[in-house]
Amino acid sequence: MTLIIVLACILALVLLITWGKFNAFLAFLIISIITGLLLGIPLSKVTLSVQKGIGDTLGSLVIVIALGAMLGKLVAETGAAQKITQSLIKAFGTKNIQWALMITGFVVGIPLFYNVGFVLLVPLIFSVTYQLKLPAVYVGVPMLAALSVTHGFLPPHPSPSALVGQFKANMGLTLLYGFILAVPAIILAGPVFAKTLKKIDAKPIATFQPKLRPESELPGLGVSLLASLLPVFLLAFTTLLPVIFPPSPSMAGFFTFISEPSIVMLLALLFATFTLGTGSGLKVGKIMDVYVEAVKDVSIILLIVSGAGALKQVFTDSGVSAQIAVMLQGWSIHPLILGWMIAAVIRVAMGSATVAGLTTAGIIAPVIGQTGVDPNLMVLSIGAGSLMFSHVNDSGFWMFKEYFNLSIKDTIRSWSIMETIVAVVGLIGVLILDRFV
């Protein structure tokens, strides 16, 4: 009965937005409240679940998305995006631009949380789209597939890192196996799958549309790259330095502070303001006007993403994930497939890859020693399952839809299928590795 309620509410959400033409944020509020009541959350606590979901989601994302939009807008306005794009085209050629973006996404995705990488790299995707007059989804999917794979498969991302600890796996081996699986998953879900998406008509939000400038007016490649990718360098530095040189207790808090994505984004934006911004001849007042316009353009995205967070919280508070996991736990199938399936079903039902991974770990961890399965492969199997078929209850789905300005149908056709390919290829790769390790 629980699964029927979940599926019915998700279907109602889709119909309310597509057929009913409701604003997505308003639709999320209505469906979240109805879903909570149907799943047995007391009347007095339904609104608390909705508020907590919105608050928790915005609390972790609002600073990153807002500052990322400001940085992206400045990179576009000053010609830095145009300079980076021209350099990529020269280095890889127009025919290989997807592969260039895919590699960039993979490198950037290793140290960065998914949402940070998304808001940083979307302006680069759109710059390539506008300059080469290529379909935005066709260009963007390979880079975003790479970001998704690193998020689900590789530490130091939250879910795989937590799974390594719970299963007492080896971090180095998990990373090695993860890299082996990542290559075919990214290629198949990226450049190969993107060939089927050329006819999708996307009209990306105008915020990141670069104003083409003469070559003489463009900033240098070095400062363009540094300003655009400084969050990557800062996060990589703050992640690796404490490992190489363990800090004293008094310095541990400082490293934790400066490694927070919101602080990293703020430092990067300030750097870009006084290098790209004033360095390109813009007055500080004009730069602030650019930032205001950037935030206006992404405000609706923040609301929609927070709505997805409300629905996810209702599912969490109602105990849906635990019910699904217990139902699947009794199935007599290969442990790696079982772990993948539990994570996949929870992901589809609840929308969060991290929640799906950690919930599955709680079910699998107590019995993993009895199964004889390689714990490193179980980490990757669950990580792959947690990426399965992102759809309307996932904030990533709505970020992709709204940034690329797509219909729900085209978002499912591109984004959701891309995530599914990553999940399935990941499982196949895990089962193949299981034969050899």
* DSSP code per residue over 384-420: HHTTTT--TT-HHHHHHHHHHT--HHHHIIIIIHHHH
Q: Would you state the pLDDT for residue 58?
A: 84
Categorize the per-residue pLDDT at 239 as very low, low, confident or very high, splitting at 50, 70 and 90: low
Average pLDDT over residues 156-168: 79
Q: Would you state the pLDDT for residue 366?
A: 67
Q: Would you state the pLDDT for residue 156?
A: 65
User: 22 lies in which domain range?
Assistant: 2-434
Q: Would you state the pLDDT for residue 49?
A: 93
Mean pLDDT, the chain, as a whole number? 86
Categorize the per-residue pLDDT at 303 as very low, low, confident or very high, splitting at 50, 70 and 90: confident
pTM above 0.85, yes or no: no
- Whether 188 shows a pLDDT value over 90: the answer reads yes
Alpha-carbon distances, residue 197 vs 138, 188, 277, 405 (angstroms):
6, 13, 36, 15
Split into its structural domains, the chain has a count of 1
Q: How many angstroms separate the CA atoms of 270 and 434, rounded?
A: 48
